[in-house]
Amino acid sequence: MKSMTTGEIASLINGNLSGLPDMVISGVNRIESARQGELAFYSDDKFLQYLNDSNASCIIVPKSFERTPAENQCYIYSANPYEDFVAILKFIESTKPQLSPGIHPGAVIGGNCSISELASIGPGAVIGDNCIIGDNVRIYPNAVIYNNVRIGANTVIHSNAVCCFDTEIGQNCIIYPGAVLGSEGFGYLENKTDGSYSRIPQLGNVVLGDDVEVGANTTIDRAIAGSTFIGNGVKLDNLIQIGHNCEIGEHTAIAAQTGISGSVKVGNRNRFGGQVGLAGHLFTADDVTLIAQSGVSKSIAKPGVYFGAPAKEIRKAFRIEAAMRQLPDALSELHNLKKQVRKLEEKG
């Protein structure tokens, strides 16, 4: 990062600085790992030990924190240390070098394309025919854009990402390295006589709304017909599989290694933990949370938190888990009772 003084950082987040305003900060880090010259933040009592031992030169702390910094440190008092730390991260990100506007000579551009003069296309990128690329789009080296793809303003396509035929991407999206949008879905007809399979052509597309992020090596299959649709504000982690003809509701967040079978309709503002699985042709209501490794075998019609395989309402699921943990002791007690009954029967 470009070096900043503690005074500049405090001014950036409107915080109150305690310590030298001209101390130079050249990096950011977690409080437990920070070194001299780095900025960290503290907002939770469970990290107090790390604060006491921290070598960070500058630490953002809560306004209510009743302590002054050590001689070689600065504190910046903040109403929300974590949010202010994120604001600094965003500022640092905005100062990093970006692709320059224009088409690199090493890029390959198809025919009949409409590419904004403000767009940036890196070396080795391939753009198919009839593509529309909006203002300030950045396409990094070796990304591949098939024919008839539309990409909205301010969207970033990272290296080795692939956008297949007819994909539509909204504004302000980020497609991370290795993601594949619009590959063919898992659709086959089974031959009943010999168990072989015939491929079903997948003639639909993938449509992403605005402000969508697709993690590295995540795959979103094109629809058989119509569209696989990802709503506005959806955030997808790395290594997620979304099947053909799915609909993912607005502002849903899905963690890594989740698999969603074809034709699933996910509601708005859903939250899925890692390794969640959903069977095909189901739906979830708005405001559903699935805890990690949950398996959904039937539709979820009510908002709430669910867990287990098959997924159940969280309180019921935890009661079942608690009962299962008691089973070994219960079986042992039952075995002992059987022994006692046999002895009584023998005496009688």
- pLDDT, position 348: 64
244 catalytic? Reply is yes
Q: CA-to-CA distance for 252 and 286, rounded, in angstroms?
A: 9
Q: CA-to-CA distance for 132 and 129, rounded, in angstroms?
A: 9
Q: Quick one: DSSP state of residue 284? A: B
Q: Into how many domains does the chain fold?
A: 3
What is the domain range of residue 228? 161-310
Higher pLDDT, 62 or 342: 62
> CA end-to-end span of the chain, whole Å?
86
End residue of a domain, out of 65, 94, 123: 94
pLDDT at 158 over 90: yes
The least confident of 93-107, 109-123, 265-279 is 93-107
User: Does residue 112 sit within a domain?
Assistant: no
Q: Which residues contact 73 (CB under 8 A, 6 or more apart)?
A: 19, 54, 56, 57, 58, 59
Please state the rounded mean pLDDT for residues 243-252.
Answer: 98
pLDDT at 289 over 90: yes
- pLDDT, position 323: 81
User: Does residue 80 sit within a domain?
Assistant: yes
Amino acid at 252: T
Catalytic residue (choose from 104, 158, 244, 281)? 244
User: Does residue 147 sit within a domain?
Assistant: no
| 197 touches 179 (CB < 8 A) | no
Note the pTM of the prediction, 2 decimals.
0.88
Q: CA-to-CA distance for 207 and 320, rounded, in angstroms?
A: 40
How many beta carbons lie within 10 A of that of residue 182, not counting itself?
Answer: 26
Residues 271, 327 within the same domain = no
Please state the rounded mean pLDDT for residues 138-150.
Answer: 98
Beta strands at 288-290 and 265-266: parallel, antiparallel or unpaired: unpaired
How much of the chain, in percent, has pLDDT values that exceed 90? 82
Residues 179, 284 within the same domain = yes
Residues 251, 336 within the same domain = no
pLDDT confidence band for 209 (50 / 70 / 90): very high
Packed helices 81-94 and 6-13: angle between N→C axes, nearest 10 degrees: 110
Alpha-helical runs (H) found in 16-106: 48-53, 81-94
Residues 235, 286 within the same domain = yes
Q: CA-to-CA distance for 70 and 75, rounded, in angstroms?
A: 9
User: Does residue 34 sit within a domain?
Assistant: yes
CATH of the domain at 175: 2.160.10.10
Report the SS3 class of residue 19. Answer: coil
- pLDDT, position 228: 98
Residues paired with 84 in a beta bridge = none
Residues belonging to the chain: 348
Residues 180, 304 within the same domain = yes
Residues 165, 294 within the same domain = yes
Residues 291, 178 within the same domain = yes
